[in-house]
Amino acid sequence: MPVRIYHNPRCSTSRKTLALLQDKGVQPEIVEYLKTPYTEPQLKGLLKQLNMSAKALLRKKDAAAAGIDPAAISEADLIKAMVEQPILV
């Protein structure tokens, strides 16, 4: 089964996850989502696979810096914001 990781090399959690996979002998397909952002259908599909809401995937500090209040934005609008500003993921 192929493994894909949506990776941000500047994120310590992402680096640790990639290292853990590689230490286990898994060579995942690496998608640097800041260089190759998600499309809206891709992000919706990923959220569905993960059984998560966009709010659960949101990077809170980056959202605050972008002036986004997760409590005041709809799921659909948050997904659009994440597509436009992938650092929010």
List residues with catalytic annotation.
Answer: 11
Using the 8-state DSSP alphabet, how is residue 73 labeled? S
Give CA–CA dist 63/77, Å, rounded.
13
Contacts of 37 (CB under 8 A, 6+ apart): 83, 86
Please report how many Cα atoms fall inside a 13 Å half-sphere around the Cα of residue 12, on the Cβ side: 0
